[in-house]
Structure 1
Amino acid sequence: MAFDEFLGERIRNHLNQKSIPFIEKKMMGGLCFMVDDKMLAGVVKDHLMARVGPDQYEEAMELKAARPMDFTGRPMKGYVFVDPEGIDREDELEYWLQLCLNFNPQAKSSKKK
């Protein structure tokens, strides 16, 4: 399954501009960006996958371009898909990535120890 390489580049540029260390991983048919060994955001097809956390989830869902992240028939808590029209402008993408960065310190690492 292909994913939007340009959106991946935009996310990469944003994180680099903020000097945020990250790792990229191809997973779930797309590209994920990890910060502090925790999933931050990703690209699935042409959508942004945003890990906003449970406290920001309802607020995020009120935005017109957001919808539940659902791979299996059950939405994942704290994650949303953002449709392409909701991240066309750089300030829109920056808004979503900042929500993800705000939640990242509280997120649990999936890294095995």
Structure 2
Amino acid sequence: MAFDEGLAERIRARLAGDPAITEKRMFGGIAFLCAGNMAVGVTGDDLMVRVGPDATDDALSRPGARLFDMTGRPMRGWVVVDAAAVAEDAALAEWVERGRAFAAGLPPK
């Protein structure tokens, strides 16, 4: 599965300068990890964000967000945000920061 390279580049620009960030191809797309913990990623044309179990309901109330479900088993703590909902840089920045902040709070891997 191909992924939106333009969206990946926009995420790179948002995370530039953070030495804890690395990239890894996974889920048929690309993931951005903070200290080894996945923060955000691109799958197809959409943004995948790790928000944590306690923030799932709030994240799902936002436009374009749905529960992450690749295998028929939805995963609380992870959401997928439609490409249209992150077309504006401010919206993308908010989601990327949300994922980065959650991952940064986890023990490094």
Q: TM-score range by the shorter chain?
A: over 0.9
Whole-angstrom CA distance in 2 between matches of 1:107 and 1:55: 14
Structure 2 residues without counterparts, runs of 5 or longer: none
Q: Deviations over 1:12-39 (max 9, x none)?
A: 00001xx212111111100000111110
The TM-score, its normalising length taken from structure 2, stands at: 0.93
Matched, 1:94 2:93: yes
Secondary structure of 1:71's match? coil
Could you say which structure has the higher strand fraction?
2
1:46 counterpart residue number: 45
User: 1:85: Cα distance to partner?
Assistant: 1.1
Whole-angstrom CA distance in 2 between matches of 1:106 and 1:84: 26
Equivalent residue letter for 1:60 = A
2:3 counterpart residue number: 3
Equivalent residue letter for 2:56 = Y
User: 1:55: Cα distance to partner?
Assistant: 1.7
Q: Deviations over 1:62-105 (max 9, x none)?
A: 01200010011111120000001110000000010111122123
Whole-angstrom CA distance in 2 between matches of 1:104 and 1:8: 18
Deviant stretches of 4+, over 4 Å: none
The TM-score, its normalising length taken from structure 1, stands at: 0.90
1:20 counterpart residue number: 18
Structure 1 residues without counterparts, runs of 5 or longer: none
Superposed CA RMSD: 1.2
Question: Percent of pairs identical after alignment?
Answer: 43
2:66 counterpart residue number: 67
Whole-angstrom CA distance in 1 between matches of 2:103 and 2:83: 23
